[in-house]
């Protein structure tokens, strides 16, 4: 039976690739991976050395802000500005050649341009275009259009997101030059916008001043005409109104007061006249008179004395007569006083009446004068009204000019500075850490791709159809049949009777030939075919009863006693023996790890042998695909990196294990008993493992007769056996 020269089945390649753990692929092809990685890092470092360092300084301004001094309506209009079209217009203004010429006009800016021109011209590696590659760096910079165009290309002007902030950045190989150039354009743009706003206010203020001068001259002429007319017609103004109007008001008020006084005097006079017949004692004036009140009080006192003396004295007594005379005298004085009060009321009325008549005459004259003045005022009313209008206009224009002058002094413009550019310390490109990190990432990716390609090429199986070839798989060790004192030692060595396995292990530890064979296996593990030590090892056999379990456990014990940390994993789920061998509790074990049901650390147990740890197969059950799943297997291998060696006691006959356990480990050892060591079954089994992607490091001859130990330890399986197997 023959096959093609190379296996090119896509499904087989996909299965092999998906079953390989990334770490296993990198470990198997570490030289290819490191070569690609180090080569990329070398190119990255070389690029860092060759590429010219660039610094970027950034300043920022904000546009469409309301100006100081504007009213609320104008400010609201500015709040509605700043739309994308307006922002693009502002950016175009910043990029204008006129603004750039203003920016480069300063001496320090021109000096910076010359230094940058020289710095860029000195570096032309990797296709870097210098600033002055095809232009002259001397002469008048403002008139050098090519140089200005090159400078403008190194500016980066853009809007910051959806805001009204414009960033102005400059790219230069010199840090101080990038700061100077960015600040120069920022300052030039701000000054240009402010100068434009100031110019409009200056023009408006000058025009208003001309209007104010004309209005002032016209107002003075009108006021002179009004004053001349007033002097001519005697229209002199008082405190708040013309003199005639104030005199008329004063005369009217005096007449009103005089008439009120006359009415009051007349009322008193009428009361006196009515009270003459009935007596004046009840008049309010008489009652209010203090003199009459005193006389009445004296009369009351004398009347009391007369009444008191009349009871004790006779009517002719001198004291009583004197009191009566005094009483009569007081009565006469009171009558005289009442008469004077009546006469005074008449006099007061006559005086008030005369005053009223006099004031009426004066009021008539004043009214005549006020009427004439009113006619004169009406004659100049139009002149006065025109003068007032002009005076109001003059005040408003003067206030507007003052506002414009104030705005010119405090005007910041609709474009304001946010921040000037700071001196850049860290280069913009290339940044060492990100550049190296990017090179490391690219190198790792290229290294992995290279390792994957090399690994796929290594896994190609070349089978000769017509002419059989020898497959060089050496026999690394010969293990003698041990004598444990138990019948059917062959069954013990194959592990069919797990109860006798401890006795076989004890006998193997005391067998020098057996321990020597284990040392040969360890030596083959430490130096593999590629010159590197193997960490994960699988022991398998073409079928059962070939001493596989005894060999794996004995090798693990010897490696642990030699000081290595060893993990022994049982993957023969059909015939598990580790739980009874090491007296372990029943757990999901390796079955659970491969099925991703438990974590690896939850299934590990320490044994009585120092440095030896084991993972039993777990609770027995029917074999399923999950028990040999690649995800769980790779998880176990990644977790087991903390051990120096991982030994798998694999199941026999792994012919259907393509891409899983046999190809995941670093190397595989095939155990075959001495009687069947050179058979076609063993050779075919080894060849199928190799075709499935496994690295078969060698074969182990078990159950050899003591006389044959040491013979053929380094001999390969015969070529005819492989020829017949192919």
**What is the secondary structure of 188-241 as a DSSP string?**
HHHHHHHHHHHHHHHHHHHHHHHHHHHHHHHHHHHHHHHHHHHHHHT--B-SSS
Give CA separation, 654 vs 154, 571, 661, 703, in Å.
Answer: 67, 11, 9, 21
pLDDT value of residue 38: 92
DSSP 617: -
Task: With beta carbons less than 8 A apart as the criterion, state whether 192 and 414 touch.
Answer: no
The token pair that represents 663 in the structure block = 């190809």
Q: Mean pLDDT, 10 residues at a time, over the chain (726 residues)?
A: 36 40 77 89 88 89 64 48 74 88 86 82 45 55 77 90 90 91 91 82 85 85 76 59 68 81 77 60 64 76 79 76 79 76 78 81 72 66 80 86 76 78 87 87 90 72 37 82 58 46 88 91 74 76 88 94 93 89 88 86 90 88 49 81 91 69 88 82 86 87 76 44 40
- Taking the C-alpha atoms of residue 345 and residue 272, their distance in angstroms, rounded to an integer, is 8
- 3-class secondary-structure state, position 614: strand
Token match 């209008």: residue? 389
Rounded to 5°, the CA angle 551-699-632 comes to: 65
| pLDDT for res 234 | 58
612 membership: H or E segment, kind and range: strand 612-615
Strands, E, within 288-400: which ranges?
Answer: none
pLDDT at 13: 39
- Residues 633, 625 contacting (CB under 8 angstroms): no
DSSP conformation class of 538: E
Partners of 477 in the beta sheet?
A: 700
Contact 703, 478 (CB under 8 A): no
Beta bridge partners of 156: 169
**Separation of alpha carbons 118 and 472, rounded Å:** 68
Pairing of strands 416-419, 165-172: unpaired
Residue 370 confidence (pLDDT):
66
End-to-end CA distance of the chain: 7
Q: Which two tokens stand for residue 192?
A: 């240009």
Q: Of the candidates 648, 685, 687, which has an alpha carbon nearest to the alpha carbon of residue 665?
A: 648
Residues, the chain, total? 726
User: What is the separation of C-alpha 644 from the centre of its chain, rounded to a whole number of angstroms?
Assistant: 48
Q: How far apart are CA 137 and CA 115, in angstroms?
A: 9
Find out if CATH 3.10.620 is the number for domain 243-379: no
d(CA 93, CA 371): 72
∠ CA 266-268-274, nearest 5°, is 100
d(CA 456, CA 449): 11
Cα(394)–Cα(217) distance, integer angstroms: 11
Largest CA distance in the chain: 201
Q: What is the model's pLDDT at position 167?
A: 94
Order of strands across the sheet that contains 605-606? 475-480, 696-704, 667-673, 536-540, 645-649, 566-570, 612-615, 605-606
| Residue whose structure tokens are 């198997």 | 28
Reply yes or no on domain 475-592+618-624+640-707 having CATH 3.40.50.300: yes
What is the pLDDT at residue 570?
92
Contacts made by residues 379-386, CB under 8 angstroms, sequence distance 24+:
379/229, 380/226, 380/229, 380/230, 380/235, 383/222, 383/225, 383/226, 383/229, 384/226, 386/222
Angstrom distance (rounded) from CA 474 to CA 461:
19
Domain boundaries, the chain: 10-49+431-458, 243-379, 475-592+618-624+640-707
Cα torsion angle, 466, 467, 472, 478, sign: positive
Containing 663, the helix (H) or strand (E) segment is helix 661-664
């Amino acid at each position: 039976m023959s096959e093609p020269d190379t296996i090119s089945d896509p499904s087989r390649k996909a299965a092999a690739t998906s079953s390989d753990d990334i770490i296993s692929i990198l470990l198997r092809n570490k030289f290819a991976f490191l070569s690609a990685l180090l080569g990329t890092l070398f190119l990255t470092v070389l690029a860092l050395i060759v590429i010219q360092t660039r610094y970027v300084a950034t300043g920022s301004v904000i546009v469409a802000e309301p100006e100081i001094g504007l009213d609320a309506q104008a400010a609201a209009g500015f709040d509605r500005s700043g739309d994308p079209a307006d922002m693009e217009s502002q950016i175009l203004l910043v990029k204008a050649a006129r603004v750039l010429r203003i920016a480069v006009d300063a001496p320090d800016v021109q000096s910076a341009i010359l230094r940058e021109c020289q710095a860029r011209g000195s570096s032309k590696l990797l296709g870097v275009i210098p600033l002055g590659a095809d232009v002259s760096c001397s002469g008048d910079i403002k008139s050098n259009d090519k140089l200005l165009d090159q400078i403008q290309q190194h500016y980066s002007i853009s809007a910051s997101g959806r805001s009204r902030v414009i960033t102005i950045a400059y790219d230069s190989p010199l840090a101080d030059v990038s700061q100077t150039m960015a600040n120069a354009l920022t300052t030039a743009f701000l000054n240009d916008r402010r100068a434009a706003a100031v110019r409009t206010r200056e023009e408006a203020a000058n025009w208003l001043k001309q209007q104010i001068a004309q209005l002032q001259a016209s107002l003075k002429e009108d006021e002179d005409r009004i004053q001349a007319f007033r002097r001519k017609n005697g229209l002199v103004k008082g405190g708040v109104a013309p003199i005639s109007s104030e005199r008329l008001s004063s005369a009217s008020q005096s007449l009103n007061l005089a008439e009120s006084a006359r009415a009051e005097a007349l009322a008193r006079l009428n009361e006196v006249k009515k009270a003459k017949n009935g007596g004046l004692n009840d008049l309010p004036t008489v009652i209010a008179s203090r003199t009459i009140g005193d006389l009445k009080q004296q009369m009351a006192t004398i009347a009391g004395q007369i009444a008191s003396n009349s009871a004790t004295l006779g009517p002719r007594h001198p004291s009583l007569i004197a009191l009566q005379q005094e009483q009569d005298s007081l009565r006469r004085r009171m009558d005289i006083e009442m008469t004077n009060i009546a006469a005074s009321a008449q006099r007061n009325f006559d005086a008030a009446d005369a005053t009223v008549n006099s004031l009426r005459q004066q009021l008539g004259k004043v009214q005549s004068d006020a009427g004439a003045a009113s006619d004169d005022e009406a004659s100049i009313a139009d002149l006065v009204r025109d003068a007032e209008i002009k005076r109001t206009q003059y005040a408003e224009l003067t206030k507007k000019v003052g506002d414009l002058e104030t705005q010119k002094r405090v005007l910041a413009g609709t474009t304001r500075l946010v921040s000037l550019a700071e001196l850049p310390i860290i280069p913009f490109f290339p940044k060492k850490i990100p550049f190296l990190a990017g090179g490391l990432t690219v190198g790792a990716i290229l290294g992995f791709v290279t390792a994957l390609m090399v690994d796929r090429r290594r896994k190609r199986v070349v089978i000769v159809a017509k002419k059989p070839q020898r497959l060089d798989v050496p026999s690394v060790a010969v293990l003698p049949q041990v004598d444990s004192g138990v019948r059917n030692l062959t069954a013990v060595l194959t592990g069919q009777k797990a109860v006798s396995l401890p006795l076989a292990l004890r006998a193997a530890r005391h067998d020098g030939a057996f321990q020597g064979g284990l040392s040969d296996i360890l030596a083959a593990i430490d130096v593999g075919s590629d010159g590197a030590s193997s960490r994960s090892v699988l022991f398998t056999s073409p079928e059962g009863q070939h001493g596989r379990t005894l060999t794996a456990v004995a090798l693990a014990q010897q490696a642990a006693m030699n000081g290595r940390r060893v993990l022994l994993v049982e993957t023969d789920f059909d015939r598990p023996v580790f739980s009874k061998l090491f007296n372990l509790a029943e757990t999901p074990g390796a079955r659970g790890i491969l099925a991703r049901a438990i974590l690896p650390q939850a299934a590990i147990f320490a044994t009585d042998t120092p440095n030896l740890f084991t993972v039993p197969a777990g609770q027995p059950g029917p074999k399923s695909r999950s028990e040999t799943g690649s995800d769980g297997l790779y998880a176990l291998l990644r977790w087991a990196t903390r051990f120096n060696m991982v030994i798998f006691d694999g199941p026999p006959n792994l012919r259907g294990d393509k891409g899983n356990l046999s190809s995941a480990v670093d190397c595989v050892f095939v155990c075959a008993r001495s009687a069947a060591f050179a058979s076609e079954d063993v050779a075919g089994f080894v060849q199928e493992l190799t075709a499935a992607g496994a690295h078969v490091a060698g074969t182990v001859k078990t159950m050899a007769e003591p006389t044959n130990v040491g013979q053929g330890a380094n001999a390969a399986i015969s070529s005819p056996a492989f020829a017949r197997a192919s």
